[in-house]
Structure 1
Amino acid sequence: MQRRRLGRNGPDVSAIGLGCMGMSWAYGPADETESIATIHAAMAAGIDLLDTGDFYGIGHNEELIGRAIRGRRDEVFIAVKFGALRDPSGGLIGFDARPASVRNFLSYTLRRLGTDHVDLYQPARVDPAVPIEDTVGTIADLIRAGYVRHLGLSEAGAGTIRRAHAVHPVAQLQIEYSLMTRGIEAAILPTCRELGIGVTAYGVLSRGLLSGRLAAGTTLGADDFRTRAPRFQGENLARNLELVEALRRIAVEKGATPAQLAIAWVLSRGEDIVPLVGARRRDRLEEALGALDLVLDADDLVRIEAAVPAGAVAGTRYDAHGMRMLDSEGRPGG
């Protein structure tokens, strides 16, 4: 397994991380036995970065990981997002990054994971009601107390990143980044590189659009959040699938799948970027790992970006409510 560093002076992790959200939430039912087998397969392949959130399945995801790593805690680097609030039906009802809440969330996380520390802790979103300095200062206290090893941020804008980093060094920013989502290239990625902050990229397959397995007319389950995502609706989906077909033609020439080409593209963006793959099954994990063997030269990159040009995707990455939650997008309408 290739290795990359999260930040200029941050931790060394596998070049690809395993995003575990789908094992508990967002894409419909998942098989727990297969999920644990997938985590074990990832570890066997050399993946040590496991990414989760305390609100994924309302704690289920952390409990799942806790079972999977029991007796093997020292083999993995666990990154946890916190702060999303849910109602009894499972709906998202806001975010809370107040200092007391940060400490409370971590207490439950440690119990569910069965560990005495998490390797990286980060607010899932920037809470507009709480100064980022207060949230980060609390995590810094938890780092000094030994409950957390490294500080992270998620979906933060350039200004917020600077303010947070001034309080305590930020090891990494987690943010959506793919051929279809390239907004970070304007200001956020340059800011991270200036400050020596690594990036873990989620949504590298744009929620499955770039997998090459979706077709026009695909019916998603009622509990699949993509049913509400603009990129998967009507004419937007048709347009986006045209982009995928253009990518597929290049992938076939390279002896790869569209998913592998999309992951390899993210890997090519810099040694400071670690893509998270959301595999829920071992066969999908194996496919994703194949991206590590793809070598993309300058001509390949030109052709890939011509097939899926920056800004060509139709539809925003979340619905209007979700977009208002994103500090990284300037909180339009919020």
Structure 2
Amino acid sequence: MAARVKVPRIKLGSQGLEVSAQGLGCMGMSAFYGPPKPEPDMIKLIHYAISRGITHLDTSDAYGPHTNEILIGKALKEGKRETVQLATKFAFTYEGGQFGIRGDPDYVRAACEGSLKRLGLDCIDLYYQHRIDTNVPIEATVGELKKLVEEGKIKYIGLSEASASTIRRAHAVHPITAVQLEWSLWTRDVEEEIIPTCRELGIGIVAYSPLGRGFFSSGPKLVENLTDDDYRKYMPRFQAENLEHNKNLYERVNAIASRKGCTPSQLALAWVHHQGNDVCPIPGTTKIENLDQNIGALCVKLSAEEMAELESIASSIKGERYASDAGTWKTSETPPLSTWKCT
């Protein structure tokens, strides 16, 4: 596999945003996938990714919380800012030890100001609503985001884990540039309605967890090495009753990868890249060698027959992607704007 392939550029959405065809998910550097990684190592990794042509960096105020944005801000000093298309997100709250989701206009503005300060920036390239607040009409949330665009504090608006109807309602208020969703060989439920809706409206697609949260990188042995504070350990697909079945899936994917002379993770990532030039996967990693391997997926070419073979294998996956559907696109409907009382 060519190690020094140049990462191409793609247009994300219809409003002018251009990003690297593969992005870098930064969450695992600071949160959720075990303890935070050493800051100097992560800054070095980010700089290396930029040097390889990966310029679309993805973070959120929820990662840490806040510490990942601070890390990214430090990494973007020393002249790196102009080469990067930075995405961050808002919506998750941790107030009084309680988890929540907010999308009311006051919170949208306060969250944006907080992210700008932590990142050390004047403007965010792509600002997502991380999860949908089902108590606030999406029109009210996007209306405030539209004001932030007009004020120059954000350039483009995105949604994450939003249903097709939510996307349509949001897009009617202000053009949505990108929808971030989980899309991989073992997570394909978005293909029925959400992907076609995005394409109809000219909205770019950002695929998170394109390697099945590391499953296609390490297979079942991934679970053996997870720390107790790694939340993958508690996800249904990694539970014993499902993992043994899913192990067979990995072995079959691995056999195809061996036949093609690539790794299972490159094969799985190549499958996402083959979905279209409006799709930007954002695999996360904390290791330079894994980043190089992810870039190598751009060299893996799949025939229609190979795509079908992979999809046939993956269709037998067992286990839901989360322990519940709370906070996913399946539960993202919001009340009509006519019910909203602005305070």
Q: TM-score, normalised by structure 1?
A: 0.94
* 1:12 paired to 2:18: yes
Partner of 1:76: 84
Contact 2:182 2:210 in 1 (8 A): yes
In the alignment, the residues of structure 1 paired with residue 60 and residue 178 of structure 2 have an alpha-carbon distance, to the nearest angstrom, of 16
Contact 1:208 1:214 in 2 (8 A): no
* 1:316 paired to 2:320: yes
Contact 2:160 2:180 in 1 (8 A): yes
Within the candidate set 278, 281, 286, 1:280 is matched to: 286
* Per-residue deviation, 1:88: 6.7
Partner of 1:22: 28
In the alignment, the residues of structure 2 paired with residue 153 and residue 263 of structure 1 have an alpha-carbon distance, to the nearest angstrom, of 22
Aligned residues: 325
Contact 1:85 1:95 in 2 (8 A): yes
In the alignment, the residues of structure 2 paired with residue 267 and residue 289 of structure 1 have an alpha-carbon distance, to the nearest angstrom, of 11
What CA deviation, in whole Å up to 9, does each residue of 1:178-198 have, x standing for no partner? 000001110000000100001
Partner of 2:243: 237
In the alignment, the residues of structure 1 paired with residue 223 and residue 209 of structure 2 have an alpha-carbon distance, to the nearest angstrom, of 22
* 1:32 paired to 2:39: yes
Partner of 2:337: none
What CA deviation, in whole Å up to 9, does each residue of 1:138-166 have, x standing for no partner? 00000000000001000000000000000
Within the candidate set 180, 189, 199, 2:195 is matched to: 189
Partner of 1:220: 226
Within the candidate set 256, 266, 284, 1:260 is matched to: 266
* Per-residue deviation, 1:216: 8.0
Percentage of matched positions with identical amino acids: 45
Partner of 1:290: 296
Partner of 1:58: 65
Moved more, 209-218 or 295-304: 209-218
In the alignment, the residues of structure 1 paired with residue 114 and residue 223 of structure 2 have an alpha-carbon distance, to the nearest angstrom, of 41
Contact 1:34 1:282 in 2 (8 A): no
Contact 1:86 1:93 in 2 (8 A): yes
* Per-residue deviation, 1:220: 2.1
SS at match of 1:324: coil
* Per-residue deviation, 1:34: 1.7
- 1:238–1:9: structure 2 CA closer, same or farther, 3 Å change rule? same
Contact 1:17 1:277 in 2 (8 A): yes
Partner of 2:341: none
In the alignment, the residues of structure 1 paired with residue 213 and residue 50 of structure 2 have an alpha-carbon distance, to the nearest angstrom, of 23
Which structure has more RCO (C-alpha within 8 Å, separation ≥ 6)?
Answer: 2
* Per-residue deviation, 1:31: 2.3
Partner of 1:112: 118
SS at match of 2:249: helix
In the alignment, the residues of structure 2 paired with residue 292 and residue 331 of structure 1 have an alpha-carbon distance, to the nearest angstrom, of 33
Contact 2:163 2:332 in 1 (8 A): no
* Per-residue deviation, 1:331: 6.0
- 1:331–1:174: structure 2 CA closer, same or farther, 3 Å change rule? closer
What CA deviation, in whole Å up to 9, does each residue of 1:171-217 have, x standing for no partner? 00000000000011100000001000010000101111111343286
SS at match of 2:127: strand
In the alignment, the residues of structure 2 paired with residue 154 and residue 6 of structure 1 have an alpha-carbon distance, to the nearest angstrom, of 15
Contact 1:216 1:241 in 2 (8 A): no
* Per-residue deviation, 1:228: 1.6
Report the AA paired with residue 14 of structure 1: S
Report the AA paired with residue 20 of structure 2: S
Structure 1 portions without partners, runs of 5+: none
Contact 2:161 2:332 in 1 (8 A): no
Q: TM-score, normalised by structure 2?
A: 0.92
Partner of 1:42: 49
Within the candidate set 150, 166, 172, 2:156 is matched to: 150
Report the AA paired with residue 324 of structure 1: A
* 1:165 paired to 2:162: no
- 1:66–1:306: structure 2 CA closer, same or farther, 3 Å change rule? same
Contact 1:153 1:173 in 2 (8 A): yes
Partner of 1:300: 306
* Per-residue deviation, 1:9: 3.3
Contact 1:212 1:245 in 2 (8 A): no
In the alignment, the residues of structure 1 paired with residue 67 and residue 75 of structure 2 have an alpha-carbon distance, to the nearest angstrom, of 12
* Per-residue deviation, 1:254: 0.9
Partner of 2:94: 86
Moved more, 95-104 or 217-226: 217-226
In the alignment, the residues of structure 1 paired with residue 167 and residue 10 of structure 2 have an alpha-carbon distance, to the nearest angstrom, of 21
* Per-residue deviation, 1:221: 0.9
Report the AA paired with residue 265 of structure 1: W
In the alignment, the residues of structure 1 paired with residue 223 and residue 61 of structure 2 have an alpha-carbon distance, to the nearest angstrom, of 33
Structure 2 portions without partners, runs of 5+: 1-6, 334-343
